[in-house]
Chains A and B, each alone.
Chain A
Amino acid sequence: MDNVLFGVMPYILLMTAIVGAIWRYRSNKYTWSSQSSQFLENKTLFFGSFPWHYGIIVVLLGHIIGFFIPKSILLWNAVPLRLYILELTALAFGLLALFGLLALIYRRLTNSRVKAVTSGWDVLVLIILLIQVLTGVGNAVLYRWGSNWYAASAVPWMWSVIKLQPDVSYVAGLPLITKAHIFNALIFFALIPFSRLAHFVVINPYKYLVRPYQVVRWYRRGGPTVNVVQYK
């Protein structure tokens, strides 16, 4: 069972994500975004979107740092006080994200205008995200020192998967809730190209910080975009 879930499925799901992303971007670039519904409802959204996004961004950043430099986490955690700080911060932001997510779900379920623009994918995404955040927070609350585990067992497993030599033994001994967290994360990846999660991979906005304010396109002069008016 573990072999299938953590040895084979990762490849299937990640391939789905990659192939799906390429397919959708090439065949239907128009839909590569997530549909905002703030225009239809903006009161509950405020209590959902802000906490959710900022909570989850911090938590995700923690995961990403741990993924690339697991040692940093282990070293940091070597001093108990620092371990507590890390765990508590992670938990706080996790709870923030959970609060936001619940507000967002409540909004989708109760507001008739928002319901009118809700697709099956949106519901699926919310379910997956809820499982992910609940198992994550559950981990933090029920089992202590998840950050150490993450760096010591989940990360090596991930690297083993990436190196095409999946070593299931890293994760086989983890508690059920942790396993659910990991497997659900894989499903999350697979969903990215097909759902509103696509906006997660929207990298355009960074350009905004460096480009000049005004954008001018010329048809005659060739080339897609020529920025001409430069402001300080």
Chain B
Amino acid sequence: MDLRAQLSMSFHMDKCIGCHTCSVSCKNVWTSRRGAEYMWWNNVETKPGAGYPLTWEDQERYRGGWEVSGGNLRLKLLKGPGKIRTLANIFFQPNLPTIDDYYEPFTYDYQHLFNAPAGDDQPVARPKSLITGDFMEKIIMGPNWDDDMGGSPLYAANDPNLKGLSESQKEMLTKFHKLFFFYLPRICNHCLNPACVASCPSGAIYKRGEDGIVLIDQDTCRAWRFCVSACPYKKPYYNWANGKSEKCIFCYPRTETGQPNACAHACTGRIRFVGVLFYDADRIEDVAKTPDERLVDAMRDIILDPNDPRVIEEARKQGIDDNWLVAAQNSPAYNLFKKWRIALPNHPEFRTVPMNFYIPPLSPVLHSAKADNGGLFDSESVEFFNSIDKMRVPVRYLANLLSAGNEQLVIESLKKQMAVRLWVRQQRVGDVGDSAAKAALSSVGLTPEEAFEIYKLVSLATFQERFVIPETHREAQTTVDPRTMYEKRGTVGFGNKRQELVSRQW
């Protein structure tokens, strides 16, 4: 066993209101710099939707992630055997997204509103490209262009997760009475088997042993951009102005000091949880090779129980500090993903073994379901769960998004959430019936205590319960030398702005 610790974020999708507060706080802290304007290390997209960058989930196009071929794990980008092909494409990458797949960053000519000469018409502020500084004819794309299903027949219709849905199920895109969408907040998954790291010819990207955060060494990065192509989640971004790739850093300067990430801290819906997971690094490769149906179970297997005495002993042997151990034992990530099995990874079939987890949304049932069995909350009916198949977001869709197509896992999570709701409703309102509520719980294998814990974590939890982040013990070595902080202001640690001999600002 090679026990290691990993910081992990979980998202309760039902509570995300799509307000983008998370994206904006991330942008304010990390990416409001030249060359980084178009980057949203944290972005929130509407699902069904084409996403950002457009159709990032379509790996036929981008060839991100891994595939198993001949029993070996191989980067999809490579196509042929070995790593040679990566190097052969070093001068031109066929699968690299360009800025047009994201959007051309822009500002407005606000000064014109003040300076315009008096005239018959209202002055307008025309959009201006932040790359060239030229006026733009019109803005044709933004970071969240199809928000709330705007233009869904044009954009969301290309969502790769719609694969396998019947025509009538796809009507949730277009028919008003069937319409439903939800939000998918995304940050880098800080994967256990990161494709970005594996594709970097310079060896600039690495996973930190202590907390599993994946970072790009800015001094070593040579602008080959393979990480951008190889990451199936499109979470490394190329800084077009200074020629380096950058990515979500899990706010490590904050987590190292025990504070939650800027996005998680700012989240108005309080949908986010951050915690520690212990896992067995010896088994990463086996997990990544597991066939689709068993992939999520394999991922749950590799996560170790922090209360198991053998695991505790192993953790001590690996030099993991006691505060990390305690945090792992109180980890919301562990409870949601492994213990209660209600959270699921995003697109595990990309085989990077992502370490962020999502609680699938319980959408309302279709109106038409009511006629069949009396609706979801009918206390007379014991068939509560039948309606899950009739929810507005088809289980198939959620399975494509969160469990590599395994519908059972999604149904299990939805049923558990439903059972907890029924049980709590019985406690609070009392109209479900004690035996019915208990029956609902036991049919999904939850005890009343567990149901209460779930209820508490997902709806009442305090700041300290949602974010259980141990401080990092690194008294002897720090990542940022405090003496250089003054020089580095304005760069948030991403490279020093020294000038090249002639006219290039770094």
Contact = CB atoms under 8 A, between A and B. Distances in A.
Interface of A: 28-42, 45-46, 49-50, 52-54, 112-113, 115-117, 119-121, 124, 194, 199, 202, 204-205, 207-209, 211, 213-221, 225-226, 228-229, 231-232
A112 B198 CA distance: 34
B278 to A, nearest CB: 16
Contact of B92 (A49, A112, A121, A211): A49
A42 B209 contact: no
Contact of A39 (B83, B210, B240): B240
20 contacts: A34-B223, A35-B242, A36-B238, A37-B240, A112-B132, A119-B502, A121-B501, A121-B504, A199-B222, A202-B202, A205-B87, A213-B75, A214-B197, A214-B207, A215-B205, A215-B206, A217-B208, A219-B474, A220-B209, A231-B72
Interface stretch (B93-101, B303-311, B392-400, B433-441): B93-101
A209 B73 CA distance: 16
Contacts of A215: 197, 200, 203, 205-207
B223 A220 contact: no
Given A121-B501, A232-B72, A113 B284 contact: no
B189 to A, nearest CB: 15
Contacts of A194: 500-501
Given A121-B501, A217-B209, A229-B281, A113 B222 contact: no
A220 B133 contact: no
B365 interface: no
Contacts of A220: 209-210, 319, 473-474
Contacts of B238: 36, 39
A229 B206 CA distance: 12
Given A36-B243, A207-B203, A215-B203, A116 B86 contact: no
Contacts of B479: 219
B131 A204 contact: no
B506 interface: yes
Contacts of B228: 39
Interface residues of B, number: 67
Residue of B238, B243, B477 with most chain A CB atoms under a 10 A cut-off: B243
A54 B89 CA distance: 11
A218 B210 contact: yes
Interface string B404-434: 0000000000000000000000000000000
Given A39-B99, A204-B220, 19 more contacts: A29-B219, A31-B506, A38-B96, A40-B98, A40-B240, A45-B92, A121-B503, A208-B87, A209-B87, A213-B75, A214-B194, A214-B197, A214-B198, A215-B200, A215-B207, A219-B210, A220-B209, A220-B474, A225-B206
B504 A119 contact: yes
**9 closest Cβ pairs, A-B complex:** A35-B243, A218-B209, A213-B198, A119-B504, A205-B201, A120-B502, A33-B222, A53-B91, A215-B206
B241 A117 contact: yes
Interface of B: 2, 72-73, 75, 82-84, 86-87, 90-93, 96-99, 131-134, 193-194, 197-198, 200-203, 205-210, 218-225, 228, 238, 240-244, 281, 284-285, 319, 473-474, 477, 479, 495-496, 498, 500-504, 506
A36 B98 contact: no
Contacts of A31: 498, 500, 506
Nearest to B202: A204
Contacts of B240: 37, 39-40, 117
A226 B84 CA distance: 23
Contacts of B83: 208-209
B311 to A, nearest CB: 19
A213 B92 CA distance: 22
A54 B90 CA distance: 11
A209 B81 CA distance: 12
A210 B238 CA distance: 25
Contacts of A228: 2, 209, 281
A50 B502 contact: no
Contacts of B219: 29-30
Contacts of A217: 206-209
Contacts of A30: 218-219, 244, 495-496, 498, 506
A208 B92 contact: no
Given A116-B131, A119-B500, A228-B2, A42 B98 contact: yes
Nearest to A43: B98
A208 B203 CA distance: 7
Nearest to B473: A220
B132 A115 contact: yes
A181 B296 CA distance: 62
A33 B221 contact: yes
B474 A208 contact: no
B285 A113 contact: no
Nearest to A119: B504
A164 B206 CA distance: 45
A121 B500 contact: yes
